[in-house]
Structure 1
Amino acid sequence: IGRDEEIRNTIRILSRKTKNNPVLIGEPGVGKTAIVEGLAQRIVKKDVPESLLDKTIFELDLSALVAGAKYRGEFEERLKAVLKEIKDADGRIILFIDELHMLVGAGKTDGAMDAGNMLKPMLARG
């Protein structure tokens, strides 16, 4: 897959006690997803620090969460359920959100929080 330096940097950030939420930024097609796939391979091969050995990477498919949500609060409830599962996993899940920029305003309706604001407290806690 390549991208060894970027994968190592991602592992270093994930291994921190605080501020351990890496964000991969770049033009489409430069290999951001490949970095996450490389990280997943290293976890499977146990080629990561001990603190990452029990981790599983999940991808949040925002379009699937939004799809078919026609009632107010339906998207919000779906996302809350996903976030609860992550919280219940006690730090064993690494959440990969492709197209992260789409989170801002996603699911926003009158009286509802958008996805970005729902994720903010969890990201702040690491």
Structure 2
Amino acid sequence: MQGKLDPVTETQQEIKRVVQFLYKCKKCNPCLVGDPDVGKTVIVEGLAAKIVGQAVPPKLLGNKIYALDMGRLIAGAANRGEFKERLIKVIDEVKISQGAIIIFIDELHTLVGAGGGGSALDVANILKPTLARGELKCIGATTMQEYKSYIEKDGALKRWFQSVDVLEPSIAKATEILKGLRHKYESFHGVRYEDKALVATVMLSNKIIRDRFL
């Protein structure tokens, strides 16, 4: 695992909040809420790096984070019954781990039917009892619009998932993130990047690229 995750530089506060929720006895499921491309997945990767580096509270030491790929779970299922069986097997594996497995669900809102499809509704209904009993530790991620449209309107999911706001990084913060990644790209491309080049990259990106976040 060492060296495979990007360095965690400017997401410490968000990771700290995620850890605080995971450490609770009840309502221990954080949901990262923010615009696309602001770094929600990076926060989960940062938490994984901290677990590997044993830089987390004792309760989380040795935990493993698995991303639940709904597309692969649904693919090839002949019917809703087969899909449900697959999901229950995943849940059973999590239960057997006795809290050592954390499930990451990107696009959490799809569990409550966004985009249509009966299977999405089944996922939420199957997960709810497990969440209620505290048998599943889960990190979700979604946008603010989708959180309000789907999660907030589902009383049970709103109770069990605690929102963690993830904002677009400022120019200064984006620059520090880029500095943290500098060595990785210098090694890959066989070049050196001066600080002023990184600052210029962030400034120009903020000025020119209008359809994405820093």
Separation of aligned partners in 2, 1:116 and 1:86? 16
CA distance change for structure 1 residues 35 and 85 in 2, over 3 Å: closer, same or farther?
Answer: same
The alpha-carbon deviation at position 120 of structure 1 amounts to: 0.7
Match of 1:20 among 8, 28, 45: 28
The alpha-carbon deviation at position 69 of structure 1 amounts to: 1.4
Aligned to 1:108: 118
The alpha-carbon deviation at position 107 of structure 1 amounts to: 6.4
The alpha-carbon deviation at position 78 of structure 1 amounts to: 0.7
**Structure 1 residue 9 and structure 2 residue 17: aligned?**
yes
The percent of aligned pairs where both chains have the same amino acid is: 52
Gaps of 5+ in 2: 1-7, 135-214
8 Å CA contact 1:57–1:96 kept in 2: the answer is yes
Match of 1:45 among 53, 56, 62: 53
Task: Calculate the TM-score normalised by the size of structure 1.
Answer: 0.90
Which of the pair has the greater relative contact order for Cα pairs under 8 Å at 6+ separation? 2
Aligned to 1:60: 68
Separation of aligned partners in 1, 2:51 and 2:25? 18
8 Å CA contact 1:103–1:116 kept in 2: the answer is yes
Q: What is the root-mean-square deviation of aligned Cα atoms in Å?
A: 1.6
Following TM superposition, the consecutive aligned residue runs of length 4 or more in structure 1 with deviations greater than 4 angstroms are: none
Separation of aligned partners in 1, 2:129 and 2:34? 25
Task: Calculate the TM-score normalised by the size of structure 2.
Answer: 0.54
Cα shift readout 1:26-58 (whole Å, capped 9, x = no counterpart): 111111111100000000000000010021111
Separation of aligned partners in 1, 2:118 and 2:93? 22
8 Å CA contact 2:52–2:62 kept in 1: the answer is no
Q: What is the SS of the residue equivalent to 1:22?
A: strand
Gaps of 5+ in 1: none
Aligned to 1:79: 87
